[in-house]
Chains A and B, each alone.
Chain A
Amino acid sequence: MACQSSAVHAGIYHYDELDRRFLAERVAQFRRQVARRLAGELSEEEFRPLRLMNGLYLQLHAYMLRIAIPYGVLGSHQLRQLALIGRRYDRGYGHFTTRQNLQFNWIKLVDVPDILTELAGVDMHSIQTSGNCIRNVTTDQFAGAAADEIVDPRVYAEIMRQWSTLHPEFTFLPRKFKIAITGSPCDRAAVAIHDVGLRAKLGADGAIGFAVLVGGGLGRSPFLAKPLREWVAEPDLLAYLEAILRVYNQYGRRDNIYKARIKILVHEIGIEAMRAQVEAEFERINGPRYRLDAAIVASIRSHFAPPPFTAQHERSGGFERECASDPDFARWTRVNVTTHKQPDYVSVTVSLKPSGGIPGDVTSGQMEAMADLADRFSFGELRVSHEQNLVLAHVRRDDLYLLWQELGRHCLDTANAGLVSDIIACPGLDYCALANARAIPLAREISLRFADIDRQHRIGELKIKMSGCINACGHHHVGHIGILGVDKQGIEYYQITIGGDASENPALGQVIGPAVGYGEVVGLIERLIELYLERREAGERFIDTVARIGIRPFKEKVYGAAA
């Protein structure tokens, strides 16, 4: 099905007939597999890997379907389809994840073939959202729009999507494999916590190339990715990635699931040995077969051409007048609006973290409203951020006031992007079969404790990230304040870290003391913030103050001087 006209300018991937035929065949195949499972011709042991290859998990309450949103970019017609699926097959809502994907939590196995058919109708699927393969490539939610962008990372994310989709050699890796790419010096894609992180940049001659990091990851054994190579020229990108994956496929451990990620391989053999192996493999395979043809890059780049911005010869002054007359609007613009390449445009972060809300959850009605607003204000395109918010990337500055008013009608106007209540939280024990503790209720309680939006603005940038188990889907290791739920003899406890950072200055947080009970967490967070407010110097964010004074004062504030 061709993209609807509403999203004709959206910078989204474009399927050709081959893609669509494949997807239709894949859905038909899974339909037969589901029928065989229900008829008892396949056992659960035989069926489980087949359903996981289609993103279908069995969670606490029902099946969960994880839908791929390539590098977090959606056309409005695709979001409408997700809204329809949520209403028709789920409970009227979906959950955006830290992988820029969407999960439905109440799916019936018998409905999945029909859901996949609905998804295929808008060029979407759930393939490679599970399993030991290369997962959805993620990137900057402001890609193609950010004022500080050097290279549009969507072009290369799409190239990697095509390269990694059903790659026959990398379908059964030792463990899952995640790649993130940024094209800006300001890293909004958290590349250092990925198996491979790419920083696109320009060479002295203006040619595009990539700094390659390897071996990052969170979970049980957190590591920041290490520099593997400072410069990989654009034509060599796939060959170099191929070399990394081959080394990992050959040497990555398969005997212990907890030691199977590439971060463990890099840690065990060391970055020098890893580099030597990758370079040798790169040398061996480098050739026409893997060379990224400039014509292909140009063809893919054409899909990400800028939308038809309207030039404004002189500023109307409307935006400034509206800010002056409406302080609530002005406050929202201070944190939810980001500078755009085009001076008359901005990018808007639509917070999915209302006070007392569930981070990342959005109703079908809100999805449809966002799709309509994307059509009206942002060329029919939306982004999902790894911080579980939505983004309208290309909004005329003069339309902001009207957009903000419309967002308010759908409870999507919370002025908290990057603030204390803009919390990343995994589904935790409320939904996830792996979790040890709940995350969402604590996120809600923290956001309610700091419900005074002026107080949040006075505190400034503060990223709280929370996971309900050691698998760290909520990125707690890189939270300015990280919260990890643990189980102690059937009781929920929470371990607190501070000083983590997912930005271009990545850092893993440090544990400040013994885990505390559920009822103590919110007060503890508040005491950490009180100390920061007491000790901060002009212009310092929470993370800056932690870096300057260290964790001990925070530890003493929470646990007393004996800590």
Chain B
Amino acid sequence: MVRPGGKLEIITANRLDTGAVVWFGGEAGWVDRVGEAAVLAPGGHALADAKASERANMVVDVAMIEAMLEDGRPVPVGLRERIRALGPTVRPDLGYQAEY
């Protein structure tokens, strides 16, 4: 979904059983890499699908966040969400950033 000003939106949550940060990837379900998150489309049902999987106890703390495209892939706009997507800035060996 495109907000005024050209910002995009994606959906994030944490897996219930592990607490791991995930993003809603549309048909792919919940994905570990933010670059694979589905950008919300106007009139789409992604948020409803994400909320449904929260009710199905797959994830917790479902939230829409602002994103932008880098090299055609979504990345969070805010520092907090970028840290969630990558890992602690003080420990590059931890979090998803360790796999990049």
**Chain A interfacial positions (CB closer than 8 Å to B):** 37-40, 44, 58-63, 91, 106-110, 358, 429-431, 435, 438, 440-441, 444, 490, 492
Contacts and interface: CB of A to CB of B under 8 A. Distances in A.
Contact of A37 (B57, B78, B79, B95): B57
A108 B78 CA distance: 26
Given A58-B14, A106-B94, A107-B19, 18 more contacts: A37-B16, A38-B16, A40-B56, A44-B60, A60-B84, A61-B20, A62-B18, A62-B21, A63-B19, A108-B18, A109-B16, A110-B18, A358-B91, A430-B90, A435-B80, A438-B89, A440-B88, A441-B90
Nearest to B56: A40
Interface in B73-100: 77-80, 83-84, 87-91, 94-95
A58 B84 CA distance: 12
Contact of A429 (B21, B77, B80): B80
Contacts of A431: 88
- Of A37, A38, A40, A430, the most chain B CB neighbours within 10 A belong to A430
A311 to B, nearest CB: 47
B21 A61 contact: yes
B78 A61 contact: no
B17 interface: yes
Given A40-B57, A61-B21, A358 B16 contact: no
B49 interface: no
Given A38-B57, A44-B60, A91-B94, A61 B84 contact: yes
A430 B86 CA distance: 10
A430 B94 CA distance: 11
A61 B60 contact: no
Contacts of A61: 19-21, 84, 87-88, 94-95
A430 B17 contact: no
Contacts of A110: 17-18
How extensive is the interface on chain B, given as a class?
20 to 34
Nearest to B54: A44
Contacts, number: 71
B77 A430 contact: no
Interface string B42-62: 000000000000101100110
B80 A62 contact: no
Contacts of A63: 18-19
B99 to A, nearest CB: 14
Contact of A358 (B19, B20, B90): B90
A199 to B, nearest CB: 37
Contacts of A59: 19
A-B pairs, top 10 by smallest CB distance, nearest first, are A62-B19, A430-B88, A63-B19, A40-B57, A108-B18, A440-B90, A110-B17, A44-B60, A60-B84, A430-B90
12 contacts: A60-B21, A60-B84, A62-B20, A62-B21, A63-B18, A109-B16, A110-B17, A358-B91, A429-B80, A430-B89, A431-B88, A440-B88
Nearest to B88: A430
Contacts of A106: 94
Contacts of B60: 44, 58
Contacts of A444: 90
A91 to B, nearest CB: 6
A490 B16 contact: no
A109 B87 CA distance: 19
Nearest to A438: B89
A63 B20 CA distance: 8
Contacts of A441: 89-90
Contact of B83 (A39, A107, A108, A429): A429
Nearest to B59: A44
A345 B79 CA distance: 49
Contacts of B18: 62-63, 108-110
Given A61-B95, A440-B90, A108 B19 contact: yes
B56 to A, nearest CB: 7
B7 to A, nearest CB: 12
Nearest to B20: A62
Contact of B17 (A108, A435, A440): A108
A110 B14 CA distance: 14
Contacts of B88: 61, 430-431, 440
Contacts of A58: 14, 19, 60-61
A91 B90 CA distance: 14
Contact of B77 (A44, A91, A490): A490
Contacts of A44: 16, 54, 60
B79 A490 contact: yes
A63 B57 CA distance: 16
Given A61-B88, A441-B89, A38 B79 contact: no
A64 B84 CA distance: 14
Contacts of A438: 79, 89-90
A435 B78 CA distance: 13
B19 A429 contact: no
Contact of A109 (B17, B54, B83, B91): B17
Interface in B15-46: 16-21
A448 B78 CA distance: 27
A17 to B, nearest CB: 34
Contacts of B90: 358, 430, 438, 440-441, 444
A59 B80 CA distance: 11
A521 to B, nearest CB: 15
Contacts of B17: 38, 108-110
